[in-house]
């Protein structure tokens, strides 16, 4: 027997790396839901981020991304089986009793809300279901019989109602896998079986292995070329899709190989004999091995992150990060070792970088569902980056045919011709197929259809939704839509009435105006005409632009302007004019203050904007020193008169002018009589 050894450089690197990054953190605990109990299976993540997992205490859980419980269901079964999520959100999972073939052996289909969709009693085990592209559920039932395994059966279920479509007597704890063409691959009794969709055996591969323990086999995984990789105990095998062995590598220690994952660089990863291994998928030779110091085996596969790191859990209760060179970069203790059996847990890795994994320690604090923040935002872009391939755990190879992409072109708005239609070429030339398949084009719209990449179509006035679907000879693309708007873009014609100039209405700061009638027409439809004239057509003083707008049925608008000019020609009104005193006595040649009272108003201006000017004249010859104008309401007058005259009469003129320059005058007189009493 060959001795198995880990190169000293690699082993040293594994140990030194922890010291080098001491104090750094590539993974950190976000939350732990201890109420989920002891978990040995691998969680699945739904499209909405819900995490589904079962425990070893007869319960199945749905947990929110923040760690709060969404729902739980008492199944009466131990769930070492990892759930799988169908395209409609249905969650499938197996269950079993701790020992014996009792009532705990069941298979469940849950609605996303936690209600039972269907349930099969007497069919259960540790394996995880696989889902065909048509939704068919494949499950390997492997009930216990005392301490020993029995072979059990491989079942195909109708996903809608659980009806058994077919069964074959080749069960086991390994989980089936589905190829791109729908072939079901399954390891049972040390052999690899290939079944058609209808359950017929296509071939059996017997790798001629002498079993040395009851360690279960590693479930099949597939690469993009259809090569099947699996392991039986300590033997790693690659097989062609026709059932012939490509290569077989026997590892030296008498231990079982864990579940497998496959990197984008065609590297196989797995746990074995206390180490994490990387092997070339081309021939199975060793690339590197990193000792994890584990004395027991984790049956789960390492998960390959988008950052290239491997995320793994070991039986001693550590969450491990190993880089693509085989260096151990970090480990976090989960609080307790898994027990009583080796775990089958593999981390699920969400697009936000959260890794979800189960804790299977014997104490409450080391159990439950864990969420860790990592540096990997999602899984690696590889054929099989984790246990059961992706976060929904379908156990199915992805289809290699790339769905074509329909591109219907950019939305277009075209003007209608005189007959209110428009002809234009549709443009599907942006459609593509990654596999370089020849595309066919189908355009459809209400009342019509066309083919070809660039058909020319005549559309009537209106908005048309055109759908394009392309086909690469294998499947249709998702539809793409282009909106073609055929519009009447010619605006209507409109002519406003002639300009108008008027004066203000009596006692109004504006005028009510008869505007006249505009004329309007359009080439395609009737025309509605509106304007912005004030209510009642009352226009304030000044020039107002009346905008007439014509709008046709397509929303085209044009406008014409009429100018309405209202002039303020009304002067201020002066009333209640008086002088106090109106008679100056005695004529002592001294100044006396006279108050000039009056009221003034204007049709437009407030009183404080009206300019007032007082002037003084006299019937006798006087100089300007005979009076003083104090302000708009006060003057000082000399109390004097000529001795030979009949008395002096001062005439005070009140001149009021508004802001438009309109003026009015009023007069008031103050007398200095010749004699008292005259």
3 state DSSP class of 504: coil
In whole angstroms, give the CA distance from residue 60 to residue 106.
13
412-487: CATH class: mainly beta
Domain topology for 573-673: Immunoglobulin-like (2.60.40)
> For 169-233, where are the E strands, in sequence order?
177-178, 184-188, 191-195, 201-205, 218-222, 228-232
The partner residues of 456 in beta bridges, in order of sequence, read 425
Task: Write the burial class of residue 45 (CB in 10 Å: 0-12 exposed, 13-18 middle, 19+ buried).
Answer: buried
344: its two tokens: 């089958």
Give Cβ neighbours of residue 506 (< 8 Å, ≥ 6 apart): 570
* Predicted local distance difference test score (pLDDT) of residue 22: 37
In whole angstroms, give the CA distance from residue 359 to residue 300.
13
How far, in whole angstroms, is CA 554 from its chain's centroid? 34
- Locate the domains of the chain by residue range: 8-373, 412-487, 493-567, 573-673
In whole angstroms, give the CA distance from residue 347 to residue 378.
11
Domain topology for 8-373: Methylamine Dehydrogenase; Chain H (2.130.10)
The partner residues of 462 in beta bridges, in order of sequence, read 486
In whole angstroms, give the CA distance from residue 257 to residue 216.
9
- Cβ distance 465 to 445 under 8 Å? yes
The reply to whether 412-487 and 493-567 are identical in fold is yes
Low-confidence residues of the chain: pLDDT under 70: 1-25, 98-104, 143-151, 211-216, 254, 295-297, 336-343, 362, 677-678
In whole angstroms, give the CA distance from residue 559 to residue 647.
72
3 state DSSP class of 103: coil
In whole angstroms, give the CA distance from residue 602 to residue 571.
7
Give 78's Cβ-side CA count (13 Å radius).
19
* Predicted local distance difference test score (pLDDT) of residue 429: 95
* Strands 557-567, 500-503: pairing kind: parallel
The partner residues of 60 in beta bridges, in order of sequence, read 54, 73
Give 62's Cβ-side CA count (13 Å radius).
20
* Strands 91-95, 84-85: pairing kind: antiparallel
Measured CA angle at 422 (ends 417, 424), to 5 deg: 140
Preceding omega of 315 cis (within 30 degrees of 0): no
- C-alpha torsion sign, points 343, 104, 196, 217: positive
DSSP codes, 52-63: EEE-SSSEEEEE
In whole angstroms, give the CA distance from residue 331 to residue 26.
9
Tell me which CATH homologous superfamily contains domain 493-567. Answer: Immunoglobulins (2.60.40.10)
* Predicted local distance difference test score (pLDDT) of residue 337: 63
Preceding omega of 372 cis (within 30 degrees of 0): no
* Strands 480-487, 412-415: pairing kind: parallel
């Amino acid at each position: 027997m060959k001795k198995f050894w880990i190169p000293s450089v690699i082993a040293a690197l594994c140990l030194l790396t922890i010291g080098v990054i001491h104090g750094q953190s590539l993974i950190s605990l976000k939350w732990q839901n201890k109420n989920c109990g002891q978990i040995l299976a691998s969680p699945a993540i739904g499209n909405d981020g819900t995490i589904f997992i079962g425990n070893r205490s007869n319960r199945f859980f749905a947990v929110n991304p923040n760690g709060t419980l969404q729902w739980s269901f008492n199944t009466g079964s131990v769930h070492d089986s990892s759930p799988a999520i169908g395209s409609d959100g249905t969650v499938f999972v197996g269950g079993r009793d701790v020992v014996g073939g009792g009532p705990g052996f069941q298979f469940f289909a849950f609605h996303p809300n936690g209600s039972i969709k269907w349930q099969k009693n007497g069919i259960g085990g540790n394996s995880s279901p696989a889902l065909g592209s048509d939704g068919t559920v494949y499950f390997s039932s492997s009930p216990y019989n005392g301490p020993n395994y029995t072979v059990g059966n491989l079942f195909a279920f109708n996903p809608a109602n659980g009806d058994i479509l077919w069964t074959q007597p080749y069960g086991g704890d390994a989980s089936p896998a589905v190829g791109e063409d729908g072939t079901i691959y399954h390891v049972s009794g040390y052999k690899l079986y290939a079944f058609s969709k209808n359950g017929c055996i296509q071939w059996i591969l017997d790798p001629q292995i002498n079993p040395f323990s009851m360690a279960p086999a590693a479930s099949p995984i597939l690469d993009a070329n259809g090569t099947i990789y699996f392991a039986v105990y300590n033997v790693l095998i690659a097989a062609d899709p026709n059932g012939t062995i490509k290569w077989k590598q026997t590892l030296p220690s008498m231990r079982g190989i864990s579940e497998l994952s496959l990197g984008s660089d065609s590297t196989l990863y797995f746990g074995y004999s206390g180490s994490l291994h990387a092997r070339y998928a081309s021939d199975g030779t060793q690339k590197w091995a990193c000792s994890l110091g584990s004395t027991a085996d984790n049956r789960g596969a390492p998960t390959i992150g988008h950052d290239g790191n491997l995320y793994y859990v070991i039986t001693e209760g550590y969450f491990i990060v190993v880089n693509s060179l085989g260096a151990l970069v970090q480990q976090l203790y989960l609080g307790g070792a898994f027990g009583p059996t080796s775990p089958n847990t593999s981390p699920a890795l969400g697009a936000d970088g959260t890794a979800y994994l189960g804790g299977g320690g014997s104490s409450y604090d080391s159990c439950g569902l864990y969420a860790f923040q990592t540096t990997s935002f999602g899984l690696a872009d590889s054929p099989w980056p984790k246990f059961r391939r992706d976060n929904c755990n379908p156990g199915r190879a992805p289809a290699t045919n790339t769905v074509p992409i329909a591109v219907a072109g950019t939305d277009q708005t075209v003007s209608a011709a005189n007959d209110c239609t428009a002809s234009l070429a549709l443009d599907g030339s942006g459609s593509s197929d990654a596999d370089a398949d020849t595309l066919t084009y189908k355009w459809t719209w209400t009342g019509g259809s066309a083919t070809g990449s660039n058909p020319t179509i005549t559309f009537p006035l209106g908005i048309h939704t055109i759908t394009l679907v392309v086909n690469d000879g294998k499947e249709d693309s998702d539809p793409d839509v282009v909106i073609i708007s055929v519009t009447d873009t010619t605006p209507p014609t409109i002519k406003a009435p002639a300009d108008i100039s008027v004066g203000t209405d009596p006692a109004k700061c504006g005028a009510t105006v008869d505007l006249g009638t505009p004329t309007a027409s359009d080439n395609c439809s009737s025309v509605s005409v509106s304007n912005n004239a004030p209510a009642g057509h009352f226009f304030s003083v000044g020039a107002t632009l009346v905008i007439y707008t014509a709008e046709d049925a397509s929303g085209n608008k044009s406008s014409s302007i009429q100018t309405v000019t209202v002039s303020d020609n009304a002067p201020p009104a002066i009333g209640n004019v008086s002088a106090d005193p109106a008679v100056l006595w005695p004529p002592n040649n001294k100044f006396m203050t006279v108050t000039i009272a009056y009221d003034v108003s204007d049709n437009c201006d407030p009183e404080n904007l009206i300019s007032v000017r007082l002037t003084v004249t006299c019937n006798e010859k006087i100089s300007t020193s005979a009076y003083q104008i104090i302000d708009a309401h006060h003057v000082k007058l000399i109390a004097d008169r000529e001795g030979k005259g009949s008395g002096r009469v001062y005439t005070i003129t009140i001149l009021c002018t508004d802001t438009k320059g309109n003026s009015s005058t009023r007069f008031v007189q103050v007398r200095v009589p010749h004699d008292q009493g005259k």
